[in-house]
Chain A
Amino acid sequence: MIPQLPPDLLFENLRLELRRGCLTLAVLAQLRQEHYGYTLRKALTERGLAIDESTLYPLLRRLELQGLLVSEWREEDKRNKRFYRLSAQGETTFKLLLAEWQSINTAVNNIL
């Protein structure tokens, strides 16, 4: 038997699930241009997608481990920063994900 969650908790779980996939797509999209953690977070926030540091920075590491991003330490403004961008595999995966996203988006809009 699947236990029933309280409505607010259920909504929160579903919201997080929906957001998780979108965040990955948004991060990959933004990293077609090179960024380090903080400027990436700012760029996402400016475009309406606020994301916590504690979510974004570990996500970058995970995507890099999965081979979708590449990173390098470089000095900027007299400070070493870790810059991320899409890898070749990341670009291919991003295109596929984007096509999938657009198709889901169109379908959901049609249904709505």
Chain B
Amino acid sequence: MDSREWSERYLQEVRKYLPWQRQDDIVAELRANLDAQREEREAELGRPLTEGEMIDWLKELGPPLEMAGRYQPPRHLIGPTIFPLYWHILRLVAIWATVGYAISIVVRIIVESHSPEWIGAQVIEFPSILITIAAWITGVFAVLEFISERYPDKCPDFAAPASRWSPASLPPLDKQVPAGTKPRNLMALSAELVVRFAVLVWLLLIPQHPFLLLGPGAAYVKSGPVVLLPVILWFYWSVVVLNAVEFLWQGYNILADKWRQKNTLQHLATEVFGLLPIAILVAAPAQAYLAANPSATHAMPSGLSIAELNHYMFTGFVVVGVIKIVQFAWDIWKARMGERNSLRAVLLP
């Protein structure tokens, strides 16, 4: 690994703990300063810095958490020594709380039987649970800060892990965003997450409140000439699960600071999951989606039969399925081309 890659790995790690609005600016400035310093050292030595020299130099700079912590605005509750650790733990707990909560809801849905309103209520309740957890963590750290300020000899040394930090533990560089690709924007991704959440809640409320999907036509469905067969319910739940997975995945990416570039594997996995609802429809028994409604008060429009309707629907689903498969194949091809270009960019900088 060359000396530049070492400093890039260091900067990549510093970036994760910087205030997000100023990340790019601060990292660009740090990069300019570190590069100038590294080049001067190399010019003095007449050779590139060795791996050992780079490790020693990065150790002098201090752990990325500590470097980034100095850029945080002054805080009265939790000071700069403890703040990076606090922030790190807060993020980890937020991720695991989200995962744990999601799993517990899914398990309760499977084991007990709950209405969509109950699921919606659990989802809506989650932000308040997160806030409570964050308040507890903040409280614990505020107490630690108080104790470490006043009784430093009786308190664990929070700076000790910093002295044991080694640049060798820096994670490898993320893949570069291909040239010409628009960089991702945290605000846009967060807005997208909020929309995903709203869509999920909307989906969950549809079974009890069909007017959310059909509008005034919902009243007609009850007394209409056809009823939906169970395969449509399977389709519905697969769409709910797909949306829930995408919501959790995106939430995880934002909280774990993995949002800067599109994760190709995640994207392709979502595409595969995306095929599932349409596959359920295409594989429906006897390709039937609608049946006659025994309590119908309205007759079918003349010249139209349920069998014909089912046939048209099946044809439509097959067409959608084919489009999804072609789209999936296109995405795989693009991903492979992207991999090839990234590799080329690394080999021929």
A49 to nearest B CB, angstroms?
17
A40 to nearest B CB, angstroms?
9
Interface of chain B, main secondary structure = helix
> Chain B residues near A38 (CB, 8 Å)?
32-34, 36-37
A54-75 vs B: 1/0 string, CB under 8 Å? 1101100100000000000100
Of A9, A54, A57, A61, the most chain B CB neighbours within 10 A belong to A54
Are B71 and A58 neighbours in the complex by a CB distance under 8 Å? yes
Are B153 and A5 neighbours in the complex by a CB distance under 8 Å? yes
Q: Report the Cα distance A89→B70, complex, angstroms.
A: 24
**Interface positions of B from 106 to 159, Cβ below 8 Å from A:** 150-153
Closest residue of chain B to A37 (Cβ to Cβ) is B33
Do A54 and B66 contact each other (CB < 8 Å), given the known contacts A5-B152, A9-B153, A38-B37?
Answer: yes
Tell which of A9, A37, A52, A57 touches B152, judged by Cβ atoms closer than 8 Å: A9
A4-20 vs B: 1/0 string, CB under 8 Å? 01100100000000000
> Chain A residues near B33 (CB, 8 Å)?
36-38, 41, 53, 57, 81
B264 to nearest A CB, angstroms?
30
Are B70 and A55 neighbours in the complex by a CB distance under 8 Å? yes
> Chain A residues near B37 (CB, 8 Å)?
38
Interface check A80, CB cutoff 8 A: yes
Are A54 and B70 neighbours in the complex by a CB distance under 8 Å? yes
Do A57 and B153 contact each other (CB < 8 Å), given the known contacts A38-B37, A79-B35, A79-B36?
Answer: no
Q: Report the Cα distance A57→B35, complex, angstroms.
A: 14
> Chain A residues near B29 (CB, 8 Å)?
37, 57, 81-82
B155 to nearest A CB, angstroms?
11
Interface size class of A (residues with CB under 8 A): 20 to 34
> Chain A residues near B30 (CB, 8 Å)?
53, 57
> Chain B residues near A55 (CB, 8 Å)?
70
Tell which of A3, A53, A79 touches B61, judged by Cβ atoms closer than 8 Å: A53
> Chain A residues near B32 (CB, 8 Å)?
36-38, 79-82
B347 to nearest A CB, angstroms?
23
Are B28 and A80 neighbours in the complex by a CB distance under 8 Å? yes
A46 to nearest B CB, angstroms?
13
**Interface positions of A from 80 to 101, Cβ below 8 Å from B:** 80-82
A63 to nearest B CB, angstroms?
13
Closest residue of chain B to A40 (Cβ to Cβ) is B33
Q: Name A residues whose Cβ lies closer than 8 Å to a Cβ of B.
A: 3, 5-6, 9, 36-39, 41, 52-55, 57-58, 61, 73, 79-82
Q: Name B residues whose Cβ lies closer than 8 Å to a Cβ of A.
A: 26, 28-30, 32-37, 61-62, 66-67, 70-71, 150-153
The 3 A-B pairs with the shortest beta carbon distances in the complex, nearest first, are A58-B70, A37-B33, A38-B33
